């Protein structure tokens, strides 16, 4: 047979790549973009079709003709719609539609044979499910033709030769090699594109047999082998082979290059991305495979080949297979008796039960291994039979089966000769309190597998992934370019303002999303991110006074429960943003421990007892996390930032003083302008400058907390209770209800008028001033000269003055709006962006 001069390129399009007519059209474009190189195309069924066909078989066995008819009708319509969209010309379209109709008629007839049978024979199921691939191959071939690329449909039955294990057939390489050359070479020689359905072939008995779920990957590599292809591209709905299943480990990364043996190991241990035996045909063939993103055909995806060196990561990827049972054979009689292990596995082998993990305790008292749950009973029975003698002599105690297990496999060529990998796996799991039921190191030394309870498997994978820092795998691009996930603690005015700001941030390199919002009632969490629209809807509901726990998808929980629930999801670069005014130190500790960075607008935790606030900084340091808190002082003004910049540049800050309360600033500047105190307070309330109860501001505590936070930056060792704080609330006003306090406010007017008058005699005005050094915190009313900078500050503005070694005679002054939800949210956003920046 003449071979084409250039080695062909085998493309396989997976189900997701053929979801609908638009996807098929895109596949056609990808194929055309590679022409004129010799091209072979293998296709899966359209997305979801194989599952639907399995359902057809079940429905048919159940004997409900109506339900069967409607399932088939849905499938027929779906294919017909794709054909109509893809084939504009009437004759081609009509002939395709009648082929589709015929295929489903036949299908109905075949399926109907199953009615009332005790179980579905694998041979018939294979005939039913292969329909999906046949139709999509016809559709792709016809679409190529109408788009101007010569294409020919090839019947897989003429090419792929299998054994008779229906549902799970193995290919016959030699026979397939011969057939492929005979059927496909001539098409390539005609410069046309052969399009062949994946997933099945013909068995020696002449029946159609499928290669097992995901089998079209295997069809592609079989053809690549037979045709001596130059490369294989597997077009999938992922950016490549990832360090872990992205549905389980959100920060999984693309692995740029993987050795064939590593990829084979991953596939064998259940990574759903490749058929477990897909790589076998290419062993020793030097034909690279590329797992490529259908959505982004320019991207190289992952190269799998035998040329890839081990690299510097001992562990490259991990995967888990659920639905496993652990079988343990124990007994004293096993000690030193040769051949027990061999007999165990021979017994299983004779029943064609494949064992995926074996571990023998060093005491040789037990052998344990895992098998798919479905085979557990069979496996146990065969072992009880095999060891009947030994059991009756009590040399073997018995055979124990534990279902509900999963095997997590950690894979990497580089672990050969790298000590400590197993220890790393163990300590990662131990840190999460995850119990390891069994462990085995593959004899190839390129994997370590652990058996854990199936329910623990996702958390186990996330922990191992993090422990080996797989999200940093060399050169691997991230799936979601750069991601930062935000947990909003407190969803009041500031939280709502922040969510609006967040939705407007334009930073294509970094996607930020809100994963959760928490209030006192509970939380709303979506590991895929709460969309801006939904966030706005939640904000609107909250604005109307409703609680998160009562809103759709809201869950009641304490704040601690909410954070620990969310932390269980291994978010990517999570940030907890505390916008409450509560004592949240314990929650923040927990968030840090779970790897979250913190952004605070809440002053209380950092103004809490020294012991408490120090502990937060220490935990952050120990865990490598950051705490940013610009909005705790002066809302959005860059005060904390300025302090750090001064210090980083070698300056020494001696004293910080100024006006730190928008509310008190407003009230006192009004009073200094001759307005009665009571009226000034009421206007401040009306303008939204105060807390709901204005006494919270008038007491000076809010300013005292800000001052304490600043003082602690300078090294002040004291507590809030040691700060000198002048309260504008007289003793009699503390115990009243809010209403009575407001009613009696005018009683204060004359006192304030006399203070203002006294000050003006001295050419001064009243301001509420905070002053902090490393030794002292004082906040209270001061008469400041009308010519001073502080006197010029009006309304709710803040002003901060830094007196430093460098700025000594001419202090550094920062002035601007210091209160309000908008500006506070802006300060918080700034911190979030800083974290995002590095
Ligand atoms: P195809 O469309 O070719 O049949 P599959 O759906 O069989 O592709 O395989 C792709 C899916 O495999 C992805 O959607 C992903 O969820 C899953 N997957 C599991 N483990 C991995 C991994 N390590 N890398 C990439 N994808 C993975
Ligand atoms: N369509 C089959 C399946 O869903 C084969 C494949 O996709 O490779 O398993
Ligand atoms: Mg697949």
SS (H, E, C) 643-673: HHHHHHCCCCEEEEEEECCHHHHHHHHHHHC
Average pLDDT over residues 456-480: 75
Ligand 1 contacts CB of residue 578 (under 6 A): no
Q: How confident is the model at residue 443 (pLDDT cuts 50, 70, 90)?
A: low
Report percent pLDDT > 90 for the chain: 59
Contacting residues for 737 by C-beta, under 8 A, at least 6 apart? none
pLDDT at 517 over 80: yes
Average pLDDT over residues 15-23: 91
Element housing 529 (H / E): strand 522-530
Q: What is the pLDDT of residue 481?
A: 41
pLDDT at 391 over 50: yes
Residue appearing with tokens 């085979």: 375
Average pLDDT over residues 136-160: 97
- Whose C-alpha lies nearest to ligand 2, atom 6? 214
User: Is residue 413 within 8 Å of residue 259, measured between CB atoms?
Assistant: yes
SS3 content of the chain, % helix, strand, coil (to 5): 45, 20, 35
Average pLDDT over residues 88-113: 94
List, edge to edge, every strand of the sheet that includes 483-489: 554-556, 522-530, 511-518, 483-489, 574-578, 597-600, 627-628
Report percent pLDDT > 70 for the chain: 95
Ligand 1 contacts CB of residue 14 (under 6 A): yes
Q: How confident is the model at residue 566 (pLDDT cuts 50, 70, 90)?
A: confident
- Residue 475: Cβ within 10 Å count: 10
- Ligand 1 atom having least distance to the Cα of 294: 2
Lowest model confidence (mean pLDDT) among 266-275, 520-529, 683-692: 683-692
pLDDT at 741 over 60: yes
Q: How far is the CA of 617 from the centre of ligand 1 (A)?
A: 41
Q: What is the pLDDT of residue 135?
A: 97
Q: How far is the CA of 218 from the centre of ligand 3 (A)?
A: 10
- Residue 793: Cβ within 10 Å count: 22
- Ligand 1 atom having least distance to the Cα of 275: 7
Q: How many CA atoms lie within 13 A of 727 on its CB side?
A: 11
List, edge to edge, every strand of the sheet that includes 231-236: 151-153, 193-197, 39-43, 9-13, 231-236, 289-293, 302-305, 257-259
Q: What is the pLDDT of residue 793?
A: 82
- Whose C-alpha lies nearest to ligand 1, atom 3? 14
User: Is residue 474 within 8 Å of residue 412, measured between CB atoms?
Assistant: no
Angle between helices 749-761 and 662-672 (to 10 degrees): 70
Contacting residues for 242 by C-beta, under 8 A, at least 6 apart? 252, 253, 254, 255, 273, 317, 479
Q: How high is the mean pLDDT of the chain?
A: 89
Q: How confident is the model at residue 44 (pLDDT cuts 50, 70, 90)?
A: very high
Ligand 1 contacts CB of residue 244 (under 6 A): yes
Q: How far is the CA of 133 from the centre of ligand 3 (A)?
A: 12
Lowest model confidence (mean pLDDT) among 88-92, 199-203, 596-600: 88-92
Question: Could you confirm whether 706 is annotated as catalytic?
Answer: yes
Which ligand has the shortest distance to the CA of 273? 1
Q: What is the pLDDT of residue 362?
A: 53
Decide: residue 452, CB within 10 A, 0-12 exposed, 13-18 middle, 19+ buried.
Answer: buried
Ligand 1 contacts CB of residue 44 (under 6 A): yes
Q: How far is the CA of 214 from the centre of ligand 3 (A)?
A: 4
pLDDT at 4 over 90: no
Q: Which is more confident, 295 or 158?
A: 158
Tokens (6 digits) for 738? 């809010």
Q: What is the pLDDT of residue 148?
A: 95
Average pLDDT over residues 495-507: 81
How far, rounded to the nearest angstrom, does the alpha carbon of residue 371 sit from its chain's CA centroid? 29
- CA distances 658 to 8, 63, 370, Å, are 76, 83, 69
Which ligand has the shortest distance to the CA of 51? 2
Q: Which is more confident, 807 or 836?
A: 807
User: Is residue 195 within 8 Å of residue 152, measured between CB atoms?
Assistant: yes
- Residue 815: Cβ within 10 Å count: 17
User: Is residue 576 within 8 Å of residue 832, measured between CB atoms?
Assistant: no
Catalytic option among 553, 706, 753, 794:
706
Q: What is the pLDDT of residue 291?
A: 97
Tokens (6 digits) for 84? 């109509």
pLDDT at 377 over 60: yes
Partnered with residue 523 across adjacent β-strands are 518, 555
- Ligand 2 atom having least distance to the Cα of 217: 8
pLDDT at 298 over 70: yes
Ligand 1 contacts CB of residue 213 (under 6 A): no
- Which pTM does this prediction carry? 0.61
Pairing of strands 724-725, 777-785: parallel
Residue appearing with tokens 């159940």: 62
Ligand 2 neighbours (beta carbon < 6 A): 14-15, 44-45, 50, 132, 198-199, 213-217
Q: What is the pLDDT of residue 444?
A: 67
User: Is residue 645 within 8 Å of residue 651, measured between CB atoms?
Assistant: no
User: Is residue 827 within 8 Å of residue 635, measured between CB atoms?
Assistant: yes
Lowest model confidence (mean pLDDT) among 343-352, 596-605, 769-778: 343-352
Partnered with residue 801 across adjacent β-strands are 657, 813
Q: List the end-to-end C-alpha distance of the chain, in Å, as a whole number.
A: 60
Element housing 813 (H / E): strand 812-817
Q: What is the pLDDT of residue 364?
A: 59
322-326, 496-500, 676-680: which is most confident: 676-680
pLDDT at 308 over 80: no
pLDDT at 342 over 50: yes
Q: How far is the CA of 503 from the centre of ligand 3 (A)?
A: 36
Ligand 1 contacts CB of residue 634 (under 6 A): no
Average pLDDT over residues 100-112: 95
Q: What is the pLDDT of residue 310?
A: 65
pLDDT at 312 over 70: no
Q: How far is the CA of 16 from the centre of ligand 3 (A)?
A: 9
Q: How confident is the model at residue 612 (pLDDT cuts 50, 70, 90)?
A: very high
d(CA 101, CA 123): 23
């Amino acid at each position: 047979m003449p071979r084409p001069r250039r080695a062909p390129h085998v493309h396989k399009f997976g189900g997701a790549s053929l979801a609908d007519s638009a996807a098929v059209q895109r596949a056609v474009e990808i194929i055309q973009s590679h022409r004129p190189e010799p091209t072979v195309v293998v296709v899966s069924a359209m997305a979801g079709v194989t599952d639907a066909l399995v359902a057809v078989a079940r429905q048919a066995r159940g004997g409900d003709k109506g339900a069967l008819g409607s399932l088939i009708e849905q499938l027929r319509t779906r294919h017909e719609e794709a054909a109509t969209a893809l084939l504009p010309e009437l004759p081609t379209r009509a002939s395709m539609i009648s082929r589709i109709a015929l295929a489903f008629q036949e299908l109905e007839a075949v399926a109907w044979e199953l009615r009332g049978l005790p179980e579905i024979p694998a041979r018939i199921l294979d005939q039913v499910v292969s329909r999906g691939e046949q139709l999509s191959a016809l559709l792709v071939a016809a679409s190529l033709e109408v788009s101007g690329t010569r294409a020919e449909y090839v019947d897989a039955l003429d090419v792929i030769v299998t054994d008779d294990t229906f549902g799970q057939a193995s290919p016959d390489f030699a026979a397939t090699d011969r057939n492929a050359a005979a059927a496909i070479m001539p098409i390539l020689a005609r410069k046309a594109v052969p399009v062949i359905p994946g997933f099945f072939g013909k068995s020696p008995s002449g029946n159609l047999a499928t290669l097992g779920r995901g089998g079209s990957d295997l069809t592609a590599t079989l053809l690549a082998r037979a045709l001596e292809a130059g490369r294989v591209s597997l077009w999938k709905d992922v950016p490549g082979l990832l360090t872990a299943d992205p549905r389980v480990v959100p920060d999984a990364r693309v692995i740029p290059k993987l050795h064939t043996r590593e990829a084979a190991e991953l596939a064998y241990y259940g990574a759903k991305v490749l058929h477990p035996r897909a790589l076998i045909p290419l062993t020793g063939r030097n034909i690279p495979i590329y797992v490529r993103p259908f959505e982004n055909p320019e991207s190289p995806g992952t190269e799998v080949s035998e040329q890839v060196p081990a690299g510097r990561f001992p562990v490259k990827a991990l995967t888990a297979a659920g639905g496993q049972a652990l079988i343990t054979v124990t007994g004293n009689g096993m000690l030193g008796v040769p051949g027990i292990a061999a007999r165990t596995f021979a017994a299983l082998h004779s029943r064609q039960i494949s064992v995926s993990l074996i571990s023998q305790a060093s005491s040789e008292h037990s052998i344990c291994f895992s098998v798919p749950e479905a085979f557990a009973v069979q496996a146990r029975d065969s072992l009880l039979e095999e060891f009947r003698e030994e059991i009756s002599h009590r040399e073997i105690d018995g055979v124990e089966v534990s279902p509900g297990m999963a095997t997590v496999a950690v894979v990497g060529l580089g672990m050969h000769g790298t000590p400590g990998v197993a220890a790393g796996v163990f300590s990662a799991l131990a840190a999460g309190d995850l119990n390891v039921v069994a462990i085995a190191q593959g004899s190839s030394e390129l994997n370590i597998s652990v058996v854990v309870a199936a329910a623990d498997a996702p958390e186990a994978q996330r922990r191992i992934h993090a422990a080996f820092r797989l999200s940093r795998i060399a050169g691997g691009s991230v799936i979601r370019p750069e991601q930062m996930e935000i947990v909003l603690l407190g969803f009041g005015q500031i939280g709502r303002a922040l969510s609006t700001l967040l939705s407007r941030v334009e930073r294509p390199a970094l996607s930020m999303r809100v994963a959760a919002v928490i209030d006192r009632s509970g939380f709303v969490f979506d590991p895929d991110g709460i969309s801006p629209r939904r966030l706005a809807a939640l904000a609107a509901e909250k604005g109307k006074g409703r609680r998160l726990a009562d809103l759709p998808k809201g869950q009641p929980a304490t704040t601690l429960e909410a954070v620990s629930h969310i932390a269980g999801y291994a978010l990517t670069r999570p940030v907890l943003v505390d916008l409450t005014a509560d004592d949240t130190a314990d929650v923040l500790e927990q968030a840090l421990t779970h790897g979250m960075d913190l952004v605070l607008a809440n002053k209380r935790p950092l103004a809490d007892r020294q012991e408490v606030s120090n502990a937060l900084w220490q935990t952050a340091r120990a865990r490598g996390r950051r705490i940013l808190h610009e909005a705790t002082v002066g809302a959005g003004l860059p005060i904390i930032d300025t302090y750090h910049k001064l210090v980083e540049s070698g300056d020494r800050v001696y004293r910080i003083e100024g006006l730190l309360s928008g509310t008190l600033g407003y009230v006192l500047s009004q009073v200094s302008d001759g307005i009665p105190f009571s009226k000034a307070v009421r206007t401040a309330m009306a303008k939204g400058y105060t807390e709901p109860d204005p006494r919270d501001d008038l007491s000076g505590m809010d300013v005292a907390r800000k001052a304490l936070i600043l003082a602690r930056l300078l090294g002040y060792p004291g507590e809030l209770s040691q700060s000198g704080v002048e309260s504008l609330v007289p003793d009699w006003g503390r115990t009243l209800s809010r209403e009575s306090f407001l009613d009696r406010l005018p009683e204060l007017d004359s006192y304030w008028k006399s203070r203002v008058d006294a000050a003006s005699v001295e050419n001064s005005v009243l301001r509420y001033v905070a002053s902090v050094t490393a030794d002292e915190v004082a906040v209270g009313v001061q008469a400041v000269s009308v010519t001073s900078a502080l006197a010029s500050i009006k309304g709710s503005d803040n002003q901060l003055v830094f007196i430093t070694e460098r700025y000594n005679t001419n202090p550094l002054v920062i002035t601007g709006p210091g209160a309000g939800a908008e500006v506070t949210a802006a300060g918080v956003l700034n911190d979030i962006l800083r974290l995002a920046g590095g």
